[in-house]
Structures are given as C-alpha cells and as structure tokens.
Structure 1
Amino acid sequence: MSGQSTYRLTFKGRASHSAPVIGESLYLWGGIQPGIILAHDSPQKKKLMSTVETFSFSSARWSSHLTRGTPPLGIAGYSCTTFRSSIYYYAGHCAHDFCFYNSLNVLNTLTMSWTQLHPNDESMMKKANCGMLSLELDGTDYLFIVGGVGATPAVKHPQFQYEQTKSLDVMTNEQLLYNLSKGDF
C-alpha cells in the first residue's frame, strides 16, 4: 500500500481521540497531540490529520498510513463507529474556542481514503462527545447517534432537551439515525 511505512511508534500524549478495531487492526486517528496547531484549518493540522496509525494484532507492529481525500476538521471529541471495512466519524471540535462540527465522514480502510457523507449544516446541533454505533434494523443499515455537548444550536427540536452548562456549552439528548443505504438522516 503506498504511503505506508512500518516503524517503532513512541507514544506521546494524545487526548480526545478514539481507536476503533476492524478485523485484526486497531486504527488511531486525530485527537489533541503535542505540536498540533489548534487553528481552525491550518496546513500543518491538515498534514498531521492526513495520517492514520494502525496496530496489527497478528504482527504486534504499528504502521503509519497517509490517507487520500480531506480528513474532517473535528479532530477531537468526535464520535466513531465501524461498519464492515469503514470507520464513520461524526461531529467533534477543532480544539479551540467553541468550534464544533456536525459533519459525517467515512474512512475506507481498504483504500485509506476519506469521503464526506454529510456536510456541516445548521439543521442539527454542532457538537462533540456523542455516542455512536452502527446497527441493522429490518434489513437496513444505520448509524445511531445520541447526545453530545456543543454550541447553542441554531435549531432546537422540541422532542429533545438542551441544557446550558456553566462553561457555556450546551448538553443535549438529541438522537439521530443515518440511513447508510439512502445516505440521509
């Protein structure tokens, strides 16, 4: 696979990330890391976020993979889940100010390429720290997303609750269902 190298990974501090498993490999992407520029959309940040680290359980080795496409800007506090050979990433924040997202992106682990499935928009709350899982219901595959904390939403849906915290973030119990076949919420 081009862009792949095997190396001895020495971990430095990393926070607000996830490490999902597909098959015999663990995938490590994003999070707050030493040396990262926390600006909204810097070239250095894009370069750092274009790399995914994988750990092979069978060989007990780490490798670094350069990805194609554009990785999400919500690099910390994102939610993720796996489905087949893909990792789905929803929402997150830039790690500065109150810069939250609600985009849905997928990383195809076979091609190591990013695709945005749903852009940021104002119809849903921009947030981080949600729960997310993939499920099959009546023969249809879905992503189920619940809760989170973020900025005051532009649209408050009456069936959900929104509570402002002391730090001026807003907690919610919003529940979203994304149909993977149809490609919509």
Structure 2
Amino acid sequence: MASFKSYQPVKRSSHSTVKVGDYLYMWGGSGSGVDYDVMEVYHLPTGAWDQKPTTGTPPPGTWAYSIIAIGKDIYYFGGSGVGGYRNSLHCFNVDSLKWRELSPSSDRGPMKKARCRMISANFDSEDYLIIIGGSGSSSINTPKQPNAQYSADGRCNEIHYYRISSGQ
C-alpha cells in the first residue's frame, strides 16, 4: 500500500476530480498556488491526501475542462487557460504519472471550448470518448460542425466521437 503524508490540497475552483480504484485524482483549476505539474491524490480508505509529481506535458486548458477515467487512464478535454479556450485532448496514466497529448485526426474537431461534458462508451468492442456541448469562442474562424447549433455567446450542442484505439 502506498504511504501518504499529512497534506492539505491547494484551494481551487473550476477543477474536476475523478475516481480510479481507491483514489480520487484532482488536477488544475483556478486558484492561488495551483501547481500544474502535480496531481493531487486522495486515498479514499484512509482519507489522506498526497501530491504526485507528473511528467510529460499537461493540458493547456487548466480550468473548466472535461474529464473521464477509463481503466488506469484519465482523459482531459478542452478547458480554458492562459491564451483562452482549448480543444486539446490529453491522457494521464495513474501508474506512470505521465501526461501525453492525443491528436484527433478530424478536420472538423471540436471548437475551442470549456464547460463541455465528456462520457465514455463502448460499442462494437471499441472504447470511445464522446464530447458534448460546451461554451467557447463564437468567433467566425471557429470550425463549425454540420447540423450543430451555436449561440451568439459561444454555447453549442456539438457532439464529437474519439475512438481511443485508433486515435480518431
């Protein structure tokens, strides 16, 4: 069993937390003193917090992102950070504590946005991430998905699928 030290997590908002096994993983958010190269981990059976240094390149959207866990991988999409809204997709492995960026091969990827939702689905023996809605830049240069609706204030009802095994 991993040893945990007495530690209090950084105060933050607009972050997300996901459960993998007996642990909660918390990263990013908006707040004073947030370290984006560290994953904060809460051990449910003991109630203890710990900080885990990470490697690789974390997502640039550091708050209001979408998150979901599949097995030992945690997927992060979009969000907002320095420079505005994002549409990057990253994966964090809880065993290696390493980030990697995933590159969807679609010409019509999701618009740069925050506050969208992501779910996982398995059909035809394939795992998919499904990215739904959100709000972002309503700029004229934002790629639009056919048949999706976009409001003047940047909200949308886009739906995008990402097949994990093929990266599409």
Q: Please report the TM-score for the alignment, with normalisation by the length of structure 2.
A: 0.89
**Stretches of structure 1 lacking an aligned partner (at least 5 in a row):** 37-47
What amino acid sits opposite 1:111 in the alignment?
S
From 25, 28, 31, the counterpart of 2:26: 28
How far residue 72 of structure 1 moved from its aligned partner, in angstroms, is 0.8
Given that residues 27 and 40 in structure 2 are in contact (C-alpha distance below 8 angstroms), is that contact kept between their aligned partners in structure 1?
yes
Report sequence identity in percent: 35
In 2, Cα distance between the equivalents of 1:8 and 1:176? 41
Per-residue deviation, 1:140? 0.8
The structure 1 segments of at least 4 consecutive aligned residues displaced by more than 6 Å after TM superposition are none
Q: 1:138 deviation in Å?
A: 1.7
Q: Which residue of 2 aligns with 1:51?
A: 38
1:151 aligned to 119, 124, 137, which one?
137
Counterpart CA distance in 2 for 1:9 and 1:31 is 18
Provide Cα deviations, 1:98-136, integer angstroms capped at 9, x if missing partner: 7000000000000000000027x9843000001111110
Aligned partners of 1:11 and 1:54: how far apart in 2? 9
The correspondence of residues 102-117 of structure 1 with structure 2, limited to 5 A, is: 102-117=87-102
Which SS does the other structure have where 2:88 is aligned? strand
Task: Select which of 12, 15, 18 maps to 1:14.
Answer: 12
Q: Which amino acid aligns with 1:102?
A: N
Q: Give aligned pairs, total.
A: 163
User: 1:161 is matched with which residue?
Assistant: 149
**TM norm structure 1:** 0.81
Give the match for residue 91 of structure 1: 78
Contact 1:122–1:154 (CA under 8 A) maintained in structure 2: no
Q: Cα distance 1:16–1:180, how it changes in 2: closer, same or farther (>3 A)? A: same
1:175 aligns with 2:137: no
Q: Distance in 1 between matches of 2:107 and 2:7?
A: 40
Alignment RMSD (CA, Å): 2.0
In structure 2, the gaps of 5 or more residues are none
- Indicate how the Cα distance of structure 1 residues 50 and 83 shifts in structure 2: closer, same or farther if over 3 A, else same: same
Contact 2:73 2:93 in 1 (8 A): yes
Tell whether the 8 Å contact from 2:61 to 2:85 is kept in structure 1 after alignment: yes
